[in-house]
């Protein structure tokens, strides 16, 4: 606990500094936390979606972080979940070699050993790798995948592409998080797969990396059913290469069962248009993409950092299942509602912040940050959600958006070039 000075004036040592980088459609936050043992630094996510670039490329982003750290080590790196728009920056391994990281926190679903308890995780991992395999080196969707989506309308195709890009296994980034990063003395960073104790809920822990800070873990929930919004996709054939979906897929029945093409009558019981329509019922790439999207959002860490009298609510991109768990549990809800500062989930979309939480549970006038970028198309329509912003205004919550930063007294100050916003949080 930082020693409380009796003075009523704001003392620099009593403030947490948060820098929200304008990465576009993504998240990247650098926290400076005052502790009795000096300042500690925490990085929460580092990435953006290639279709939603902000002021930085991956290289530029990590370089900026390095500059801002000025050779100080990072005490904690948090990757809330494995979506590209939160971890693409971790893939710059060359640059990360020079940054010393004490601890890395990930959701437990990212732990390779977790699949022993939950075999379905391996299947999801397979899907992520398959999604990765759909993209060629130039960052274009492969022909087979395009063909698989061809039955859909262009809006849905674009939405599927957006989600599939986000869900790629991103081997360098994940590898870096799991094994790459090192501490100052050369040893590998300590990995924490949260929550570490999955028998009780919610859990909390402290760590020597952040002395005096209590970390509350409100998500992801241990129950797999709460971590996805759709059933696991049935057509597991995608697990071994989603591309096969669009290839001239042989019917599962060999030729001897089929009516040869030359013997087909010209007028058939179903017209070709009807059959094309039936084909839309396929559990195809679009569906797999949506399922994976829901799964990865569902694995988001939801943390409340208790620092002095500050409570920072960091929900990553947590969706319905996680929020229902929080709302249903008295302790978790109390902890979340006690927040004195909020990072708005999933770039301000409709499925990451319950309306009832904003209107009834969260205190009034709690400051917030939203790392977001507006965009076109089915997927990005409604991000950030106007109704959510209105609700926040109604509650008197001062908030700042990364894509439209403005100075707010006692809360934040954007950089002159709009590349980041610096916030202060009293503790």
Partner 1 sequence: MRRSPDQTRPEFRQLRIYAIDPMVSRAGEHQATVQIRFEPLELKGGMKSPEPASERDPLKFAGRRVEVIDVDAAGPVPVWLKPVELDDANIAMQHGLEPSESDPQFHQQMVYAVAMRTLEQFDRALGRVVYFSGRRRLRLVPHAFRGGNAFYHPKLRAVLFGYFRASKDAPGDNLPGQVIFTCLSHDIIAHEVTHAVVDRLRPYFNRATSPHVRAFHEGFADIVAVFQRLSFRDLVQRALQDARGDVRQSQLLSNIAAQFGQGLGSGHALRTALDSDTKIQDVTEEHALGAVLVAAIFEGFYTTYERRSADLIRIATGGTGELPRGALHPDLVSRLTAECVRTAQSVLTMCIRAFDYLPPTDVTFGAFLRALVTADWELNPLDEVGLRAAIIEACRRRGIFAAEAGSLAVNALLLDVASNSAWHEHVLAFQHWVDLAIGKDIEEQRADTPEDADAAEADVSPARSFTQQAPSVQSESIEAEEELDSARQLRDAILAWFNALPPAERQRLGFDPVATLQYPHFHSSRRVTAHGTVRFGLVVQLVQMQTLQVGGAPREFPWGTTLVIDVSGHVRFIVAAPSVTSRATDIEEMQRLAMTSALGWKLPEPAADPFAVDYRGMHEART
Residues 40-79 that bind partner 1 (CB under 8 A): none
Q: Which stretch binds partner 1 (CB under 8 A): 21-29, 90-98, 228-236, 330-338?
A: 228-236
Phi, psi torsion values for 26, nearest 5 degrees? 175, -175
Q: How is 86-114 classified by DSSP, letter by letter?
A: HHGGGG-HHHHTTSBEEEEEEEGGG-GGG
Distance CA 28, CA 319 (A): 19
Q: Which is nearer to partner 1, 263 or 364 (CB)?
A: 263
Dihedral angle of Cα 423, 81, 140, 63, to the nearest 10 degrees: 40
> Which residues inside 331-370 make contact with partner 1, applying CB under 8 A?
350-356
- The least CB distance from residue 339 to partner 1, in Å, is 17
Q: Which stretch binds partner 1 (CB under 8 A): 134-142, 178-186, 199-207, 241-249?
A: 241-249
114 binds partner 1 (CB under 8 A): no
How far CA 367 is from CA of 322, 370, 392, in Å, comes to 22, 10, 9
Quick one: which of 85, 102, 156, 403 contacts partner 1 (CB under 8 A)?
156
- The least CB distance from residue 350 to partner 1, in Å, is 4
- The least CB distance from residue 28 to partner 1, in Å, is 25
Quick one: which of 323, 341, 399, 420 contacts partner 1 (CB under 8 A)?
323
Distance CA 108, CA 300 (A): 10
Write down the residue that tokens 């971790």 correspond to. 90
Quick one: which of 5, 10, 231, 309 contacts partner 1 (CB under 8 A)?
231
Distance CA 160, CA 368 (A): 30
Write down the residue that tokens 């084909």 correspond to. 279
249 binds partner 1 (CB under 8 A): yes
204 binds partner 1 (CB under 8 A): no
259 binds partner 1 (CB under 8 A): yes
Q: Which is nearer to partner 1, 308 or 321 (CB)?
A: 321
Distance CA 390, CA 407 (A): 19
Structure tokens at 153: 């309308």
How far CA 126 is from CA of 131, 142, 234, 237, in Å, comes to 9, 18, 13, 11
Three-class SS state of 35: strand
389 binds partner 1 (CB under 8 A): no
147 binds partner 1 (CB under 8 A): yes
The contacts of residue 82 (CB under 8 Å, 6+ apart) are 107, 110, 128, 170, 174, 296, 299
Q: Which is nearer to partner 1, 8 or 252 (CB)?
A: 252
Q: Which is nearer to partner 1, 349 or 402 (CB)?
A: 349
Q: Which is nearer to partner 1, 50 or 244 (CB)?
A: 244
Are the beta carbons of 363 and 313 closer than 8 angstroms?
Answer: no
Binding residues for partner 1, total number by CB under 8 A: 75
Distance CA 156, CA 174 (A): 28
248 binds partner 1 (CB under 8 A): yes
321 binds partner 1 (CB under 8 A): yes
Q: Which is nearer to partner 1, 4 or 230 (CB)?
A: 230
- The least CB distance from residue 26 to partner 1, in Å, is 21
How far CA 121 is from CA of 112, 200, 228, 385, in Å, comes to 9, 21, 12, 31
Distance CA 110, CA 78 (A): 12
Are the beta carbons of 419 and 21 closer than 8 angstroms?
Answer: yes
153 binds partner 1 (CB under 8 A): yes
> Which residues inside 270-299 make contact with partner 1, applying CB under 8 A?
270-284, 287, 290
Quick one: which of 57, 68, 73, 126 contacts partner 1 (CB under 8 A)?
126
Report DSSP state, residue 159.
H
252 binds partner 1 (CB under 8 A): yes
Phi, psi torsion values for 246, nearest 5 degrees? -95, -15
- The least CB distance from residue 18 to partner 1, in Å, is 25
123 binds partner 1 (CB under 8 A): yes
Q: Which stretch binds partner 1 (CB under 8 A): 62-70, 96-104, 239-247, 334-342?
A: 239-247
Quick one: which of 76, 78, 385, 425 contacts partner 1 (CB under 8 A)?
385
Burial class (CB in 10 A: 0-12, 13-18, 19+), 379: buried
Quick one: which of 53, 66, 122, 132 contacts partner 1 (CB under 8 A)?
122
């Amino acid at each position: 606990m930082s020693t409380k000075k009796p003075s009523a004036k704001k003392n620099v040592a009593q403030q947490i500094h948060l820098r929200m980088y304008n990465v576009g459609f993504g998240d990247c936050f650098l926290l400076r936390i005052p502790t009795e043992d000096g300042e500690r630094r925490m990085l929460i996510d580092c990435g953006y979606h290639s279709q939603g670039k902000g002021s930085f490329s991956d290289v530029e982003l990590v370089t900026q972080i390095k500059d801002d750290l000025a050779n100080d080590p990072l005490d904690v790196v948090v990757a809330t979940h494995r979506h590209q728009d939160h971890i693409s920056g971790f893939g710059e391994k060359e640059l990360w070699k020079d940054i010393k990281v004490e601890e890395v926190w990930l959701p437990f679903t990212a732990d390779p050993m977790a699949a022993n308890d939950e075999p379905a995780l391996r299947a999801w991992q397979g899907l992520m790798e398959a999604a990765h395999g759909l993209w060629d080196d130039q960052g274009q969707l492969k022909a087979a995948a395009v063909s698989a989506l061809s039955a859909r309308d262009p809006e849905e195709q674009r939405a599927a592409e957006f989600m599939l890009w986000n869900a790629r296994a991103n081997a360098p980034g994940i590898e870096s998080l799991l094994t790459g990063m090192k501490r100052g003395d050369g040893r590998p960073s300590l990995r924490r797969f949260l929550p570490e104790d999955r028998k009780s809920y919610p859990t909390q822990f402290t760590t020597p990396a952040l002395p005096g800070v209590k970390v509350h873990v409100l998500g992801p929930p241990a129950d797999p059913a709460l971590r996805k919004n759709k059933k696991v996709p049935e057509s597991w054939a995608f697990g071994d290469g989603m591309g096969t979906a669009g290839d001239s897929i042989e019917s599962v029945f060999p030729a001897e069962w089929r009516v040869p093409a030359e013997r087909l009558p010209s007028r058939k019981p179903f017209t070709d248009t009807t059959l094309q329509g039936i084909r839309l019922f396929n559990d195809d790439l679009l569906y797999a993409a949506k399922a994976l999207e829901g799964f990865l959002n569902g694995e988001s860490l939801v943390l409340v950092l208790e620092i002095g009298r500050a409570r920072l609510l960091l929900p990553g991109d947590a969706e319905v299942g996680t929020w229902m768990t929080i709302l249903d549990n008295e302790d978790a809800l109390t902890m979340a509602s006690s927040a004195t500062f909020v990072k708005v989930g999933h770039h301000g979309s409709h499925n990451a912040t319950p309306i009832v939480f904003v209107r009834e549970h969260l205190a009034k006038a709690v400051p917030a940050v939203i790392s977001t970028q507006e965009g076109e198309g089915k997927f990005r329509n409604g991000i950030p959600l106007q109704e959510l912003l209105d609700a926040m205004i109604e509650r008197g919550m001062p908030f700042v958006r990364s894509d439209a930063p403005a100075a707010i007294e006692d809360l934040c100050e954007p950089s002159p070039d709009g590349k980041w916003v610096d916030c202060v949080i009293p503790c």
